[in-house]
Amino acid sequence: MAAAVLFKVVLVSYIALVSIRLKICGLREAEHVVAAAEAGAAYFGFVFFPRSPRNVSAQEARMLAGEVPMGRMKVGLFVNPSDELLASVLDAAPLDMIQLHGAEPPERVAEVRGLTGLPVMKAVGVAEAADLALLEAQAAVADQLLVDAKAPKGAALPGGNGVAFDWRLIANRRWPVPWMLAGGLTAQNVAEAVRLTGARQVDVSSGVESAPGQKDSARIHAFARALGADAAP
């Protein structure tokens, strides 16, 4: 069995056995990596996109990765990255997964998987039912999907904007690969989002911040408690 296929089979089986899995994205400080670990996060996201207030260098990510407990996923978020950028980051930072958060078509997703040898999570923005077709196309090549809110018109960032979409659009929908819910999630609404969508994995960034790019340890723990994720790394 090919490694990528085996990864999907194992991950699907694991997700089915545990409670909701949590990804904290946009981590920039060691104390917040530690807080995410204490809260039971299964995925730790590091952003490599200069326009983002959550951007880190490969060297910073390497130091932060040292705080991630063994066995949990270190995810690098890229937006339409060049091969050179991917190679330079991976040479320095011990990532376990690539997250593509730009306009990468399925062909590029498959190419990045081959170039890096790592599983790839592809983010797809959703605002209306017509956007769901792209999820189907990306599911054919990605190892995971990130179902996110489509960035508002004129937004400077493709994600992390603190906006949600109509969760009823994906109520009880399933894809052939694991998927994660994102977009405007907070401690106040995550339980309802999970109830409406059936998500088994969720991603949060701005929802655990006191200001753009500034994570808050208390908010991280509050989000995990609302999700019930403390014991499900």
Q: Which residues are catalytic?
A: 25, 148
Instruction: Measure the CA–CA gap between 29 and 18, rounded to whole angstroms.
Output: 28
- Cα separations in angstroms, 25 against 5, 41, 55, 135, 203: 25, 10, 11, 21, 7
Instruction: Measure the CA–CA gap between 36 and 223, rounded to whole angstroms.
Output: 10
SS3 at position 48: strand
Direct distance between the N- and C-terminal alpha carbons of the chain, in angstroms, rounded to an integer: 26
12-47 in b/e form (b: 16+ CB < 10 A) is eeebeeeebbbbbbbbbbeebbbbbbebbbbbbbbb
Instruction: Measure the CA–CA gap between 138 and 110, rounded to whole angstroms.
Output: 9
* Helix (H) or strand (E) run with residue 207 in it: none
